[in-house]
Each structure stands twice: as C-alpha cells, then as structure tokens.
Amino acid sequence: MSGTEDKSKIIRDAATVVLIRDADTETPRVLMGQRGAKAAFMPNKFVFPGGALDTEDARAPLAEKGAEPCRTRLDEDAKAGIGPALLAAAIRELWEETGQILGVPGVWDEEVPESWQGFADEGYIPSPDGLAFVFRAITPPGRPRRFDARFFLADAARLKTDPDDFSGAEDELSNLQWIPLAEVRDFDLPFITQVVLAEIAGRLPDVSAPEAVPYFKNDAEESLFLRLGGVVEMPTSQANEP
C-alpha cells in the first residue's frame, strides 16, 4: 500500500469468531478481549477475536470441505471463491489473538505460510467444522479503518485447547475473558458487536447457521440491514453508530 492511499476508503475483507461457552445452559458466556487505547480502530472497545484477511490464508489447507451452507453463502457476493480463505482467516485470527485452536491433528503437506507457522507447529491443520456464518457487516464510511467483516459462531466445545489458557495469545487484545451474556452490555462494546450479540442470544442454544444471514451494509449512498430474501431498512443515524 502506498503512503498516499487513504486507508479510510479501503474496505478490507475480514473474519471474526464468536465463541460461545455453555450455550445450552442458563449462563452462556462469550469470549472477548479489549483493544488497546492507541489502536487506530475501535480503541478501548471489547471485541471478538478477528481481523483482516491475509493473502496467505488462501494457501492454508482446511481439514474439512464442510462448513456448509456457510461456504456457499460466503460466495454470494462479487468475490466468488473467497469462502475458504475467510474460514481460514477466522481460525488464524482466533489463534493469534487468544491462543485457541480450531483444528484437527495433522501435518501440513506443503510449505507452511509464515503467518501460519505457529499454528502448524502445534501439530494442527485448521478445521472449519462447527463454524457457522451468522453475520456480515461493512464498517460505515468515515472510520479510520473499514472492513467487510464476516462473523462466525462456534461452540467452545470445538476447541482443541484449554479455553481458559490464553498464554499463547499475541498482545493485540488484553483482558481476554469469558463474559456472561447477561453481563456483556456492561462492557464498552462497538455498536455492531451489540447487534451481533443480540442476534446470537436470540437463537441460543442453537449455534448452527441461520436460515437467513443478516448483512449490515454501509456504503456512501445508504445504510441497510439486509437478510437473504429480504431487505429491512435501518435509519442511517442508527446504522452509522460506532
């Protein structure tokens, strides 16, 4: 990227993982961490693990061809074929930011991309099994960073790691913790995170992919709350909240 490009006008593909623990109990919890005070995007906010798609994500082998209907729905835009890379990005970002692994034991057949070396060294191949595509949102105009983010829901029981051990996490998120859904609104959350949590909480204990994936679309012309098969208009003043 050249130094003259305006990052606020570039929309990067991104993937986010919403891990739910004890989904079938009266006290489900969600894994979240806090962004740094000096972060360019959403400083101090509590967020789900996630981040931008890396070019190396397309080279990561996925242990299963499954995750349907998620893979098909991920391709229901102008970027056909991006689904596997987004699933891989979600798994990589979860690993980097929390030290948690969604994968199956195995050895990589080909050269391991640099951004995946730590994951591969643990003896795992990334697996999208259990990841449910539940939400898509584009950051509104005017933000210092903009992302086309896909949110993936997963049951913490799918983890191959101790869900309480964050020792392998990088330092992008602090205060990593399992927050009871009943208490999560007491934290400083981005508006879109609140919307995603409301959608998920309304469907628990079901952690499968919804029949219609919500799509929070923000562009220069309008802000819409879309679903497959229908459109629900949301007032621009509400849609553009941080």
Q: Would you say residue 2 lies in a domain?
A: no
Q: Would you say residue 224 lies in a domain?
A: no
Residues 6+ apart with CB under 8 A from 82: 13, 53, 74, 75
Supply the CATH number for residue 59's domain.
3.90.79.10
**Residue 222's pLDDT is what?**
61
Pick from 63, 3, 19, 71: nearest CA to 176: 19
CB 117 within 8 A of CB 124: no
Kindly report the pTM of this predicted structure.
0.86
How many domains is the chain built from? 1
Mean pLDDT, residues 96-105: 96
Longest dimension (CA), the chain: 51
Q: Would you say residue 184 lies in a domain?
A: yes
Q: Would you say residue 60 lies in a domain?
A: yes
Q: Would you say residue 239 lies in a domain?
A: no
CB 214 within 8 A of CB 198: no
Q: Would you say residue 57 lies in a domain?
A: yes
Per-residue model confidence as pLDDT tens digits over 72-85: 777 665 566 788 89
Least confident window among 34-38, 145-149, 183-187: 34-38
The whole domain housing 141 covers 7-161+169-210
Q: Would you say residue 242 lies in a domain?
A: no
Q: Would you say residue 240 lies in a domain?
A: no
Whether the per-residue pLDDT at 23 is higher than 60: the answer is: yes
